[in-house]
């Protein structure tokens, strides 16, 4: 990846994790924070422990709000789940501290802008044809980043995957970001989005659905899902593994069937010169066996375009942040 401007940033603002991409010389660096927090009763001992362990936190009345990486540890100790500023790809309407906690997290992760620094952040497509929540989410995050001093740009999440991964195909193809809150899909022609949509079944849907049928907490299920032991290969050694496999296949089917319906209902597609690549990224898609599952599902549907191949993103979980960084550097 070639860079010519230092200091600009790409931000993947995910429901489960926030990924920041930046440049260091001719290399790209990534920093990741869990997009979650827990509320703890205030005590000097707890505050001292958090400071000793370098865990992000702030005092609020009689509470301490611990956020970012490692808050899962507290959720497991307390026998509950973390609180999430975002849900299904946008600000969580059921979390009164949503913007407050995101502002704290972004302040820690991004820091204040230096002179002329730009930041490009990912924005999902509206689910079920509604953009109202996305508009509110985008403008709220834009304000947080502008308050940090940045010149702010935004980029569709599915298109960000294409920009990061399909330079060798003139940014033409289908990009899919399988995230925690939703799955974002974009069909692009020469870097211009032709179709962009999202489905609200993502990694969180897997966690909460598997939790409901196994009796385990969503946090426990998620940690199992993200461990190296779990594989999407049809062989389940535990009830949690079985449930995860069922709901993984469900989100793949939901994305592929929605793609089939939307493409076949689209009246005029661009004059594509040949078969198109499909590239997928996002944390939910990193499990072993996911590639084969998506490839087989795409082979079973009837699309008005021909698929060249299905490829796993080179940048993996960092694809969206990488695409946003490229856009920031290129003034897209």
Contact 127, 88 (CB under 8 A): yes
Is there a domain that residue 245 lies in? yes
Q: Is residue 3 part of a domain?
A: no
Rounded distance between C-alpha atoms, residue 5 and residue 122, angstroms:
20
How is residue 295 annotated by DSSP?
H
State the Cα–Cα distance between residues 242 and 94, nearest whole angstrom.
30
From residue 56, give the alpha-carbon distance in Å to each of 33, 61, 77, 124, 184.
Answer: 10, 17, 18, 27, 30
* Of 2-16, 109-123, 229-243, the least confident: 2-16
Report, as an integer, the average pLDDT of 217-245. 86
Of the candidates 137, 62, 144, the one whose C-alpha atom is nearest the C-alpha of residue 103 is 144
Quick check: is 90 in a domain?
A: yes
CB neighbours of residue 320 within 10 Å: 35
CATH number of the domain enclosing 97:
3.30.420.40
Mean pLDDT along residues 249-268: 96
DSSP string covering 28-79 = EEEEEEES-EEEEE--HHHHHHHHHTT--EEEETTEEEEESTTHHHHHHHHT
Does 57 share its domain with 139? no
Token pair for 263: 């493409």
Check residue 332 and give its pLDDT: 58
Residues 311 and 175 placed together within one structural domain of the fold:
yes
184 and 81 both lie in a single domain: no
- Establish if 159 belongs to a structural domain: yes
Query: Is residue 75 over pLDDT 70?
Result: no
Instruction: Tell me: do 16 and 148 sit in the same domain.
Output: yes
Based on the domain organization, do 287 and 204 belong to the same domain?
Answer: yes
DSSP 149: T
Closest CA to 178 of 244, 230, 256: 256
Does 154 fall in a domain?
yes
152 contacts: CB under 8 Å, gap ≥ 6: 118, 119, 120, 121, 142, 145, 146
Same domain, yes or no: 272 and 217: yes
| 257 and 126 housed in the same domain | no
User: 272 in a domain, yes or no?
Assistant: yes
Element counts in the chain: helices (H) and strands (E): 10, 15
99 in the same domain as 13: yes
- Identify whether 296 is part of a domain: yes
Task: Please report the pLDDT score of residue 76 as a whole number.
Answer: 66
Q: Please state the separation of Cα 295 from the chain's center in Å.
A: 21
Asked if 241 and 232 touch (Cβ cutoff 8 Å), the reply is no
Question: Which pLDDT score is estimated for 78?
Answer: 59
What lies within 8 Å, CB to CB, of 4 at 6+ separation is 329
What is the pLDDT, as a whole number, of residue 228? Answer: 85
The answer on 198 and 93 residing in a single domain is no
Total-model pTM: 0.91
What whole-number percentage of the chain has pLDDT above 90?
74
pLDDT confidence band for 4 (50 / 70 / 90): very low
Q: Please check the confidence at residue 223 and state whether its pLDDT lies above 60.
A: yes
- Residue 1 falls inside a structural domain: no
Asked if 123 contacts 134 with a C-beta cutoff of 8 angstroms, the reply is yes
Rounded to 5°, angle at Cα 331 from 328 and 144: 50
Under 8 Å CB-to-CB from 189, ≥6 apart: which residues? 172, 270, 272
Residue-range definition of the domain harbouring residue 41: 37-72
Length of the chain: 332
- Name the maximum alpha-carbon separation found in the chain: 66
The answer on 295 and 250 residing in a single domain is yes
Q: Tokens 């089939």 map to which residue?
A: 260
83 and 208 co-located in one domain: no
User: What is the model's pLDDT at position 2?
Assistant: 39
| Residues 270 and 195 reside in one and the same domain | yes
> How many structural domains comprise the chain?
3
Q: Is the dihedral of CA 193, 253, 316, 72 positive or negative?
A: positive
CB atoms within 10 A of CB 217: 17
């Amino acid at each position: 990846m070639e860079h010519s401007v230092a200091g600009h940033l790409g931000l993947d603002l995910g429901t489960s994790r926030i990924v920041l991409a930046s440049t260091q010389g001719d290399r790209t660096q990534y920093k990741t924070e869990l997009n979650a927090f827990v509320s703890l009763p205030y005590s000097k001992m707890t505050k001292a422990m958090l400071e000793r362990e370098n865990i992000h936190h702030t005092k609020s009345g009689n509470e301490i709000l611990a956020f970012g990486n490692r808050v899962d540890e507290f959720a497991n100790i307390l026998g509950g789940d973390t609180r999430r500023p975002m849900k299904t790809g946008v600000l969580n309407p059921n979390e009164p501290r949503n913007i407050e906690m995101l502002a704290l997290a972004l302040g820690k992760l991004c820091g204040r802008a230096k002179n002329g620094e730009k930041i490009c952040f990912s924005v999902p497509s509206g689910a079920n044809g509604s953009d109202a929540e996305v508009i509110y989410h985008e403008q709220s995050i834009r304000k947080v980043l502008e308050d940090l001093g940045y010149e702010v740009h935004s980029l569709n999440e599915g298109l960000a995957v294409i920009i990061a991964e399909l330079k060798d195909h003139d940014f033409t193809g289908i990009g899919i970001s399988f995230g925690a809150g939703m799955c974002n899909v974009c069909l692009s022609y020469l870097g211009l989005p032709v179709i962009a949509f999202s489905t609200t079944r993502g990694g969180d849907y897997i966690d909460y659905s598997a939790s409901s049928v196994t009796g385990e907490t969503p946090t426990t299920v998620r940690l199992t899902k993200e461990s190296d032991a779990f594989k999407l290969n049809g062989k389940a050694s535990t009830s949690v593994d079985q449930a995860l496999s069922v709901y993984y296949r469900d989100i793949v089917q939901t994305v592929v069937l929605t793609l089939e319906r939307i493409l076949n209902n689209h009246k005029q597609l661009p004059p594509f010169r040949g078969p198109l690549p499909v590239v997928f990224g996002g944390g939910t898609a990193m499990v072993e066996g996911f590639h084969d599952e998506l490839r087989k599902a795409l082979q079973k549907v009837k699309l008005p375009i021909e698929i060249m191949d299905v490829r796993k993103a080179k940048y993996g979980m960092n694809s969206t942040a990488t695409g946003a960084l490229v856009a920031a550097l290129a003034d897209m």
